[in-house]
């Protein structure tokens, strides 16, 4: 007999405004407790220092996490000039200092090189795995972490304000996988100084913004209160950029059973005519998501079945 899962079958997205001082994993645990949910996960780690948008998936929404992680993100952060740190933020130990303080002209001239597809070496204290071990665990043990540079996309990188001689605020719009700590570190080097992030806030993850978010304090005040469920967004919210495909009953059952549904028959062209080989869709029945699917060899084939 299969072991019964602890908790309730709760499905949907909770958009948390994560406070500073807790990890993303701790935030997920707190949200899971509020809903007494069987299953939960997040789409994109926020460092303990950071605040802002942390989308948390409950139940079947966890199957849509990759589609949120692949989306663009927006951040505001403050760079502290003159000190590099082990973690590339204010939580680490000081590695080096500099008396150089850039002015507006220096910064704006340097920013041009950080927009577009750029090479970026992730921070040593990151969640990237090396031989099965997290980079931050290796770094904490005192070993050197040899991370390779990789291409990330920065859509926008703007100086918002010069707060004082030692601090400047920036706004960034980026693609997936870009580290703001690395961006701050490398910008400081480009202006002839050193630096680290003193404050970081994530403003947007794909379709999820601050307008959608609830604070952890407000949410935990709703434990055992049905009002908490009013803050859950539907599973399919994460699939806004993927075409929806309405199926009829027998087709939906076929897909749920892991089998493919023909898509290019003459009788189907009026419904499926715009689909092409390799397209990803999410299939629905009577408005309820059935599966994330892909068009392969003339069939709609399920990639992830959604049991809703």
- Does the active-site annotation cover 47? yes
Q: Catalytic one among 17, 47, 88, 212?
A: 47
CB atoms near residue 157 (< 10 Å): 21
Nearest to 82 by CA among 67, 64, 62, 96: 96
The whole-angstrom separation of Cα 207 and Cα 74 is 11
Nearest to 43 by CA among 13, 77, 74: 13
Q: Contact 140/132 with Cβ under 8 angstroms? A: no
The whole-angstrom separation of Cα 273 and Cα 279 is 12
Structure tokens at 180: 């703001």
* Cα angle, residue 50 at apex, residues 47 and 53 outer, rounded to 5°: 100
Catalytic residues: 47
């Amino acid at each position: 007999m299969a072991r019964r899962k602890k908790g309730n079958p709760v499905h949907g997205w909770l958009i948390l405004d994560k406070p500073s001082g807790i990890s993303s994993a701790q935030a997920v645990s707190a949200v899971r407790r509020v809903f007494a949910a069987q299953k939960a996960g997040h789409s994109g780690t926020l460092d303990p220092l950071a605040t802002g948008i942390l989308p948390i998936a409950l139940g079947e929404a966890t199957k849509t996490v990759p589609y949120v992680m692949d989306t663009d993100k927006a951040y505001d952060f403050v760079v502290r000039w003159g000190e590099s740190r082990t973690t590339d933020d204010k939580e680490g130990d000081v590695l080096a200092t500099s008396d150089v303080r850039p002015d507006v002209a220096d910064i704006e001239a340097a920013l041009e090189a950080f927009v577009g597809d750029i090479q970026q070496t992730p921070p040593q204290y990151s969640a990237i795995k090396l031989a099965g071990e997290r980079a931050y665990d290796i770094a904490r043990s005192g070993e050197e972490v040899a991370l390779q540079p990789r291409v990330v996309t920065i859509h926008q990188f703007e100086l918002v304000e010069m707060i004082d001689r030692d601090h400047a605020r920036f706004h960034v719009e980026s693609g997936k996988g870009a580290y703001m700590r690395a961006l701050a570190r490398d910008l400081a080097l480009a202006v002839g100084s050193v630096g680290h992030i003193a404050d970081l806030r994530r403003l947007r993850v794909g379709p999820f913004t601050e307008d959608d978010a609830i604070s952890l304090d407000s949410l935990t005040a709703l434990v055992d209160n049905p009002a908490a469920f009013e803050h859950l967004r539907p599973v399919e919210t994460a699939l806004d950029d993927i075409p929806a495909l309405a199926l009829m009953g027998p087709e939906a059952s076929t897909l749920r059973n892991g089998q493919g549904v023909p898509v290019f028959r003459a009788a189907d062209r009026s419904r499926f005519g715009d689909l092409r080989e390799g397209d990803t869709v999410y299939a629905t029945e009577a408005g309820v998501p059935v599966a994330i699917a892909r068009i392969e060899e003339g069939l709609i084939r399920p990639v992830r079945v959604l049991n809703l």
